[in-house]
Amino acid sequence: MENNKNEDIGVGFWIFVIIILLIIAVVVIYWGWKAVSVGIGITAAIFSAVIAANLVSDAHDREIKAKEKEIADLKAECERLNRRIESTEADKGDLKQRLRDIHLFFKNLKPETQETIFEKLGMETSENDEANPS
């Protein structure tokens, strides 16, 4: 696709050169060689303007491509962060379920066994299960 663009620019450039040469030929025929030097100056100014416009356009295209790449990188980072958040939420749900399972396990133990386990863990027993997870 980029090659086609370059070929189009090349064809347009040669058409432009042919038109300028025809204009110079007409100027030479009607006004002589002195007018040609003025025409060459004007042509050089036009070429300079065309080249400057092309350079500005190329710089603008590079800037747009850089911004598009930056946007794509930011989208990829957002997707990665969203997956990480979803994974964290899933882990959080798994941890809550595991805590409920542990709580049920301790709740189903005999009170004497609970006291023994809590003493070995260095924790105090509570009569009303304050550690009840929601």
The answer to whether residue 15 is domain-embedded is: yes
The answer to whether residue 73 is domain-embedded is: yes
What's the pLDDT tens digit per position in 74-128?
A: 899 989 988 888 888 878 888 888 888 888 887 887 888 878 877 877 776 555 4
pLDDT of residue 9: 61
pLDDT of residue 1: 44
| Number of domains into which the chain is organized | 1
Report residue 2's pLDDT band, with 50, 70 and 90 as the boundaries.
very low
User: Which of 71 and 120 is assigned the larger pLDDT?
Assistant: 71
Q: What is the pTM of this model?
A: 0.41
Q: Give CA–CA dist 132/129, Å, rounded.
A: 6
CB-CB contact of 133 with 99 (8 Å): yes
**Matching residue, tokens 């086609």:** 4
Least confident interval from 3-7, 37-41, 65-69? 3-7
Q: What range defines the domain where residue 15 resides?
A: 2-89
The answer to whether residue 101 is domain-embedded is: no
The answer to whether residue 27 is domain-embedded is: yes
Residues belonging to the chain: 134
CB-CB contact of 117 with 87 (8 Å): no
Percent of residues, the chain, with pLDDT higher than 70: 81
pLDDT of residue 98: 86
Q: What is the CA radius of gyration of the chain?
A: 40
Report residue 16's pLDDT band, with 50, 70 and 90 as the boundaries.
confident
Q: Give CA–CA dist 50/12, Å, rounded.
A: 12
Q: Give CA–CA dist 22/101, Å, rounded.
A: 92
What residues contact residue 89 under an 8 Å CB cut-off, 6+ apart?
Answer: none
Mean pLDDT value of segment 34-42? 73
The answer to whether residue 80 is domain-embedded is: yes
- Per DSSP (E only), the strands in 14-126 are none
pLDDT of residue 10: 65
The answer to whether residue 12 is domain-embedded is: yes
How is residue 68 written in tokens? 């598009």
